[in-house]
Amino acid sequence: MNEEKRRQLEQKKQVIHGEGRSAKQHDSGKLTAWERIRLLIDEDTFVETDMFLEHRCTYFGMDRKKQEGDGVITGYGKINGRPVCVYAQDFTVFGGSISEMNARKIAAIQKKALEMMVPIVALFDSGGARVQEGIQSLSGHGHIFYQNVQSSGKIPQISAIMGTCAGGASYSPALTDFVVMVDNTSNMFITGPKVVKAAIGQEVTMDELGGTLVHSELSGMADHVAGGDGECVSFIRQLLEYLPSNCQMMPGRQKNFAYTQRKLEEISDIIPESARHAYDMHRVIECLIDDGSAVEIKPKYAMNIITLFARIGGCPVGIVANQSAQKAGCIDIDAADKAARFVRICDNFNIPLLNLVDVSGFYPGKEQEQRGIIRHGAKMLFAYSEAEVLKITVIIRKAYGGAYLAMCSKELGADMVYAWPGAEMAVMSAHAAVDVLYRNADREEKERYYKEYQDQFLNPYEAAHMGYVDEVIEPSRTRAHVLRVLSNYWEILPHRKKNSHKNIPL
């Protein structure tokens, strides 16, 4: 190749990668698409695909406005040494809008990820459909959604909202396994402020419609909110460490891990003496897991239930735990959806489940019943019953009523059920039971019946006698018991799974 052609090729690549168009992105507190990919992918491993693709629209003078690459960079490389596919929308080209050809390029890398059976990471920064193309753009969206669903449950799909994700395009992140947003620069909504005002006369900002607060605390769409583009990319790299490359593999087990031994004794002092007093379940979790290994999912949404990835003895686990400090740990509609989705992700990707139970029931009230707590609570029952991964349940304190079952009892397929000495398993609390059984008794009689009910049911030994609990254990021995079960199951886990399922949005 002569020098002139080489220089021409290099100039074309620089233009495709946003050379000279970065100032506006940087002024908005954002990196360019190419900078994001370079930060995400291991150095010198990225292979770009469809680099010179252009749109073919001729409407509204678009035939005179073309840019090679057409506003999205696609390809594959390695993250932490493992193959991963990726695409990044380029907001500096037609506002990152999705065209027919642009979407075809994205669908092609989605297909390649499924062929390679490797994770795919999508970096969103787009104003939505390219209006000049009409139905051609909408058709492109459809191809992307279809590929999202074909890959669902087979390979991990991670979406990062690193700018605007508007209109129909926002359905693609909803079809993936994880959604990460960037504080102050990202938003996601179906209908923008101008259309909302024109349609119903309501004046709202983009943040009010779909900012990070909306999706991390109210809608539950965001699994994590990062402080900036760099932190967003770091979180994705960290999250991938807990996931296998596909549904046929096990997540990687770390040989080297740290654990502070004093936490074994600290765990015994966390639970208050009175069953009516709250505590922070995060403290219990921290005493069980390897130091610094927790990656919480949806930490600000439905905070009455905790979902997080961690490691115990180097083994990745998914932890579902009732949060006593929020709504007394009761399960409401949002908590049920959050937990059920997390359980199904863990089942998709062979991640063992550890369930820490302190639940006094489903959250009561007219609003919950009218919104369908029965249907939503059933999602947890379905998810746990369907899950074929290893399931370990530890009853920390209360386990009452249907919520006891919903937190993965033996009847729902728990492989091992442990209980702490102060655990209580019953249809309801002693006071509530006595009010039902002896509502006409006087105060003295009720006290006697209360003590009788408490002695009979509100201890773990009655459940252990009947085979509902495998062993009553000291709190300080919990980590050792869980680790022993994990170690024994680790080699056989890939062979015991018979069924697979897609990860339908809950």
The larger pLDDT score, comparing residue 51 to residue 49, is at 49
Lowest-pLDDT choice from 89-103, 312-326, 479-493: 89-103
Q: Which helix (H) or strand (E) holds 391?
A: strand 391-400
C-alpha 477, offset from chain centre: 29
C-alpha 353, offset from chain centre: 14
pLDDT at 195 over 60: yes
* Average pLDDT value for the chain: 89
pLDDT band at 436 (very low <50, low <70, confident <90, very high): low
What percentage of residues in the chain have a pLDDT greater than 90?
67
Average pLDDT over residues 174-188: 96
Average pLDDT over residues 416-437: 77
pLDDT band at 427 (very low <50, low <70, confident <90, very high): low
Report how far residue 348's alpha carbon sits from residue 55's, in angstroms, rounded to the nearest whole number: 37
Strands 157-166 and 178-182: parallel
Instruction: Please answer whether residues 353 and 315 qualify as being in contact, where contact means their C-beta atoms are separated by less than 8 angstroms.
Output: no
Average pLDDT over residues 244-252: 94
pTM over 0.75: yes
CA-only gyration radius of the chain, Å: 26
Lowest-pLDDT choice from 36-45, 47-56, 415-424: 47-56
pLDDT at 347 over 80: yes
3-state secondary structure 155-210: CCEEEEEEEEEEHHHHHHHHCCCEEEEECCCCEEECCCHHHHHHHHCCCCCHHHHH
Instruction: Tell me the one-letter amino acid at 406.
Output: A
pLDDT at 60 over 80: no
Average pLDDT over residues 87-95: 87
DSSP result, 10-69: HHHHHHHTTTT-HHHHHHTT---HHHHHHHHSPTT--EEESTT------GGGGGG---TT
pLDDT band at 430 (very low <50, low <70, confident <90, very high): low
Strands 305-312 and 295-297: antiparallel
Average pLDDT over residues 251-268: 94
- Read off the pLDDT of residues 216-231 as tens digits, 9 standing for 90 and up: 999 999 999 999 999 9
- Catalytic positions: 167-168, 402-403
pLDDT at 62 over 80: no
- Read off the pLDDT of residues 357-398 as tens digits, 9 standing for 90 and up: 999 999 999 999 999 999 999 999 999 999 999 999 999 999
Average pLDDT over residues 127-138: 76
Sign of the dihedral through C-alpha 197, 210, 146, 97: positive
Average pLDDT over residues 51-67: 65
Length of the chain: 506
Greatest mean pLDDT among 47-51, 80-84, 164-168:
80-84
Report how far residue 176's alpha carbon sits from residue 159's, in angstroms, rounded to the nearest whole number: 7
C-alpha 79, offset from chain centre: 19
Report how far residue 168's alpha carbon sits from residue 450's, in angstroms, rounded to the nearest whole number: 57
Average pLDDT over residues 115-120: 98
Q: Residue 145's closest CA among 459, 461, 502?
A: 502
Q: Residue 495's closest CA among 411, 385, 415, 389?
A: 389
328 half-sphere exposure, CB direction, 13 A CA radius = 14
Lowest-pLDDT choice from 59-68, 154-163, 184-193, 203-212: 59-68
